[in-house]
């Protein structure tokens, strides 16, 4: 039997995987047995050495990584392809969404974005009592978790204070499910204090929602707006991101003689190579895969010219510490002013490089820089610009150390603050922390409260009790549990605090 067939066999016989998980891994293996889109030698070498990384998205990109449909299209106009009439009642609207989600691809084959739900559903709620709204949305929420069990699946609500947003946050806090993940879009000029408080109380309950700072995001997008998907990817609505590639900054620092060499030679080189990798993948998607012939484009759920490319970075902490050591300085990233400023300088250089490089087939002709959360096997590298697990300073110092980075990452910063459970008796403290963070320039805010069973691993949720069960008896209904268990063990994540599971984090079968 060839190696490949052995792998196929191994997957079909792995007792820890459900049959859907097996099917997914089999399809990934099949795709990855194809030759990689042709890369020049230098780029191929950098990829091989994992200085740059394609997130193991697969060898033949035939769908965008993140698809952010404008679901109002299917609700208002129906769908010829899916033989759906326009929705006229809340039941019909929810039903159409449930159908629609099954036809929205992503890197994991499950939808990563299920809509700005309050905008979508409010028009159908006039005749619906509060009690009915609660019952219907609760069933909807249960459906999402059980049928689309991917922790990267992401719903958005806000910034207005409305019945749907309130009811969804209430249900989410009650059910404490892994899926869907939830973002509350906050805007001090639009959101009421009451709904902001509700969001903070819900974080204390279940580490969700994530809060997005609308005044910082909105100006970067057009009137069509944006959505937050997966782990805090802020992307154009009615489009998405073709691909996500990333630079391992630690590896770049290791290949540099000193800080000057890093800035003058080595970083620019890998920035360029990562662009080439991105371009090759985009080319395949746009020019070979036929994806944009899909009914999603024809019916207007998405538009071919609204896809950006996410240009990710990670291991900023290790990169800065490495450069500090090369300069003979002891100060550590997150704790030392010089180290922190070096980090900010790196972010700025990256930002300028991404903003000035023209990119074909990209929304507005360029990629968007992203502070990337990580995979489950990142080998001691810290996600994005985060401070390493277990060594974070108090939450205020933490925010102060990182705030300056946020301006440089228009497609989002995956950041998580760990709060100890004494915050339970004092939600006002959490509110002030969020307000302080936003005032200092944080684009988004996520927190884990340390006694919550439901916790974030690298941006997606896991239940700690599921990880324990998974280790005991080897199996979980939810895909992200596999990743979470892996991330928890290799990423020291539980040292930082608890989290959940995701498909995106397990892009390969790893046995």
Residues that bind another protein in the complex, under the rule CB under 8 A: 394-397, 399, 419-426, 428-433, 435-437, 439-440, 451
Q: Return the closest-CA partner of residue 80 out of 304, 306, 302, 300.
A: 300
Task: Give the shortest CB-442-to-another protein separation in angstroms.
Answer: 11
183: which strand partners?
A: 156, 210
Under 8 Å between Cβ of 205 and 173:
yes
Considering the complex, state which of residue 41 and residue 394 has its C-beta at the smaller distance from another protein: 394
Task: Give the shortest CB-452-to-another protein separation in angstroms.
Answer: 12
| C-alpha to C-alpha distance for 141 and 386, rounded to whole angstroms | 31
Task: Give the shortest CB-285-to-another protein separation in angstroms.
Answer: 42
Task: Give the shortest CB-399-to-another protein separation in angstroms.
Answer: 7
Task: Give the shortest CB-214-to-another protein separation in angstroms.
Answer: 18
| C-alpha to C-alpha distance for 206 and 176, rounded to whole angstroms | 6
Considering the complex, state which of residue 15 and residue 328 has its C-beta at the smaller distance from another protein: 328
Task: Give the shortest CB-448-to-another protein separation in angstroms.
Answer: 15
| C-alpha to C-alpha distance for 126 and 2, rounded to whole angstroms | 61
* Helices 427-439 & 395-406 angle (0-180, nearest 10): 30
SS3 308: strand
Give the contacts of 240 (CB within 8 A, at least 6 positions apart). 64, 65, 66, 67, 68, 113, 229, 302, 306, 307, 308
Which ranges constitute the DSSP H helices of 304-451?
316-326, 337-356, 395-406, 427-439
Give the helix, strand, coil percentages of the chain, each rounded to 5.
Answer: 50, 15, 40
The helix (H) or strand (E) run that includes residue 39 is none
Task: Give the shortest CB-466-to-another protein separation in angstroms.
Answer: 23
Q: Return the closest-CA partner of residue 505 out of 121, 112, 203.
A: 112
Considering the complex, state which of residue 179 and residue 423 has its C-beta at the smaller distance from another protein: 423
Considering the complex, state which of residue 424 and residue 489 has its C-beta at the smaller distance from another protein: 424
Under 8 Å between Cβ of 232 and 217:
no
Cα dihedral 504, 507, 509, 510 sign = negative
Considering the complex, state which of residue 247 and residue 430 has its C-beta at the smaller distance from another protein: 430
Considering the complex, state which of residue 395 and residue 507 has its C-beta at the smaller distance from another protein: 395
Considering the complex, state which of residue 435 and residue 469 has its C-beta at the smaller distance from another protein: 435
| C-alpha to C-alpha distance for 248 and 312, rounded to whole angstroms | 9
Considering the complex, state which of residue 48 and residue 420 has its C-beta at the smaller distance from another protein: 420
Considering the complex, state which of residue 4 and residue 429 has its C-beta at the smaller distance from another protein: 429
Task: Give the shortest CB-395-to-another protein separation in angstroms.
Answer: 5
Task: Give the shortest CB-417-to-another protein separation in angstroms.
Answer: 10
């Amino acid at each position: 039997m060839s190696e490949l067939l052995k792998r196929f066999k191994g997957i079909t016989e792995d007792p820890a995987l459900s049959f859907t998980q097996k099917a997914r891994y089999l399809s990934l293996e099949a795709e990855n047995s194809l030759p990689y889109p042709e890369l020049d030698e230098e780029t191929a070498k950098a990829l091989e050495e994992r200085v740059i990384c394609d997130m193991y998205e697969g060898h033949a990109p035939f769908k965008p990584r993140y698809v952010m449909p404008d679901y109002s299209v299917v609700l208002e106009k129906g769908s010829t392809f899916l033989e759906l009439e326009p929705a006229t009642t809340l039941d019909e609207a929810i039903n159409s969404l449930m159908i629609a989600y099954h036809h929205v691809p992503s890197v994991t084959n499950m939808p990563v974005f299920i809509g700005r739900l309050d905008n979508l559903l409010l028009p159908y709620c006039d005749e619906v009592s509060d009690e009915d709204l609660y019952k219907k949305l609760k069933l909807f929420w249960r459906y999402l978790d059980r049928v689309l069990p991917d922790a990267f699946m992401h719903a958005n609500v806000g910034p207005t204070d409305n019945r749907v947003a309130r009811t969804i946050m209430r249900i989410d806090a009650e059910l404490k499910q892994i899926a869907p993940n939830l973002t509350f879009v906050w805007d001090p000029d639009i959101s009421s204090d009451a709904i902001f408080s509700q969001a903070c109380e819900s974080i204390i309950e279940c580490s969700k929602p994530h809060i997005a700072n609308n005044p910082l995001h909105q100006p970067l997008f057009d009137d069509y707006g944006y959505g937050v998907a997966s782990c805090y990817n802020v992307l154009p609505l009615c489009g998405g991101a073709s691909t996500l590639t990333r630079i391992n900054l630690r590896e770049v620092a290791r290949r540099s003689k000193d800080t000057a060499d890093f800035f003058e030679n080595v970083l620019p080189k890998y920035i360029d190579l990562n662009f080439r990798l991105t371009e090759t993948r985009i080319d395949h998607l746009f020019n070979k895969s036929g994806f944009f012939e899909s009914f999603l484009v024809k019916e207007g759920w998405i538009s071919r010219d609204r896809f950006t490319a996410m240009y990710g970075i990670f291991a900023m902490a290790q990169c800065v510490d490495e450069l500090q050591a090369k300069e003979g300085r002891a100060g550590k990233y997150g704790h030392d002013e010089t180290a922190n400023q070096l980090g900010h300088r790196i972010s700025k250089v990256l930002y300028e490089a991404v903003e000035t490089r023209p990119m074909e087939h990209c929304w507005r002709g360029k990629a968007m820089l992203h502070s990337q959360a990580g995979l489950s096997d990142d080998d001691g590298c810290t996600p994005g610009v985060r401070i390493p697990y277990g060594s974070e300073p108090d939450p205020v110092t933490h925010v102060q150390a990182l705030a300056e980075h946020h301006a440089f990452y228009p497609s989002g910063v995956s950041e998580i603050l760990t709060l100890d459970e004494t915050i339970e008796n004092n939600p006002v403290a959490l509110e002030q922390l969020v307000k302080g963070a936003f005032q200092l320039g944080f684009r988004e805010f996520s927190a884990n409260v340390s006694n919550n069973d439901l916790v974030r691993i690298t941006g997606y949720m896991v239940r700690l009790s599921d990880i324990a069960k998974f280790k005991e008896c080897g199996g979980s209904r939810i895909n992200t549990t596999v990743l979470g268990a892996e991330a928890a063990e290799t990423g020291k994540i539980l040292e930082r605090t608890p989290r959940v599971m995701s498909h995106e984090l397990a892009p390969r079968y790893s046995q």
